[in-house]
Amino acid sequence: MTAIQDTVNAEATSPSRAVRADVEDDQMTVLQRVLVGLFVAVPLAALVAAVPLLWGWGLGWHDVILALIFYWVSGLGVTVGYHRYFTHGSFKAKTGLRTALAIAGSLAIEGPVITWVSDHRRHHKYSDREGDPHSPWRYGDDWKALSKGLLYAHIGWLFDPNQTSQQKFSPDLLADSRIRRVDSWFGGLVAVSLLLPALAGGLWGMSWHGAITAFFWASLVRVALLHHVTWSINSICHTFGSEEFEVRDKSRNVAWLAIGSFGESWHNLHHADPTCARHGVLKGQVDPSARVIWALERLGWAYDVRWPDEARLQAKRPATAKRRLGSMTRRVTRPGRVRDEAAA
């Protein structure tokens, strides 16, 4: 994983040539574009249609509970699994957990694990520069260009025919037969993610009505919300927010997205220290994904977790802010207490 991260972070001596080598031209077929469009449009239409559906008519506690369960499983599959584990190697996982994280991430319907990881590693290599698959600054920095860029970073990039080279960015995952198998199961896992809530809702309420409302809320609406929260990290968190750590790009922290994104919106620290298992390292920055990693470590399923390191954090803070960080990072990294407080 270190070798992969070094490759991703390496500076290209010839940017345009390097970018061309990192993508595979015109690999997205018309059918694939149509399917991407359906996965974007249908859940979003369901979310818009949800507005007039009031409590007690088409929505009940069963739907809310199922939606929350599937949102957490699939969302944490992306944040803990796809992102912090597979992309950045923030911790090591035992075989069962490794496979489970790949499956859980697939349930978010954000793409197969190898495709997702390849795109994100490419994003970090070229963050907010030529070659970044979803930078909101690709068209310029005036309001018209940024408006167009935000739309592209949020959704438009999904239709880009230039697909990231998996051989270049994810040779470690391609070499893992289990992960390749999960990657190939993506279509079936999409069906599971959409139909399992309906089955659970139907059995819970012992009615077709329960199945239909569960499908609407825990499948379509849940997927739409999760998609737009995830895409907001690409768009909003590279445009607006606070910068507490020095970075070479436009990554920012957006507090109001922290809960829904499971801590991913503490995006500024993530780009300053991509392999850190916790993104919200400052006081008051809630990071549910880090808490899950902490629990997995306690269970013995995850190990060699890269918790925040005081020296690394201090080095990445602006000079005017280093003193304010001191006491907090000493608590986080104090020997004997790191595992308890790193995920607090």
Q: Per-residue pLDDT tens for 182-212?
A: 999 999 999 999 999 999 999 999 999 999 9
The angle, 0 to 180 degrees and rounded to 10, between the axes of the packed helices 113-125 and 2-9 is 50
Cα angle vertex 243, ends 238, 244, to 5°? 140
Residue 4, pLDDT above cutoff 60: no
Place of tokens 């979803």: 134
Domain coordinates in residue numbering, the chain: 1-10+44-239, 243-344
pLDDT digits (tens, 9 = 90+) for 103-142: 999 999 999 999 999 999 999 999 999 999 999 999 988 8
What residue type is 3 in one-letter code? A
Residue 264, pLDDT above cutoff 60: yes
> What pLDDT score does 344 carry?
39
pLDDT digits (tens, 9 = 90+) for 148-188: 999 999 999 998 877 899 999 999 999 999 999 999 999 99
What residue type is 36 in one-letter code? V
Q: Which of 48, 62, 46 is nearest to 223 (CA)?
A: 46
In angstroms, the CA 165 to CA 126 distance is: 14
> What pLDDT score does 313 carry?
86
> What pLDDT score does 49 carry?
75
**Cα separations in angstroms, 39 against 111, 189, 223, 299:** 10, 14, 9, 36
Asked whether 217 and 67 are in contact (CB, 8 A), the reply is yes
> What pLDDT score does 101 carry?
98
Torsional class of 165: left (φ above 0), alpha (ψ -120 to 50), beta (otherwise): beta
Read off the pTM: 0.83
Strand partners, 24: 163
First to last CA, the chain: 27
Highest mean pLDDT of the ranges 69-73, 127-131, 144-148, 310-314? 69-73
Query: Reduced to 3 DSSP states, what percent helix, strand and coil does the chain have, rounded to the nearest 5?
Result: 65, 5, 35
**Cα separations in angstroms, 29 against 20, 25, 36:** 19, 11, 11
What residue type is 311 in one-letter code? A
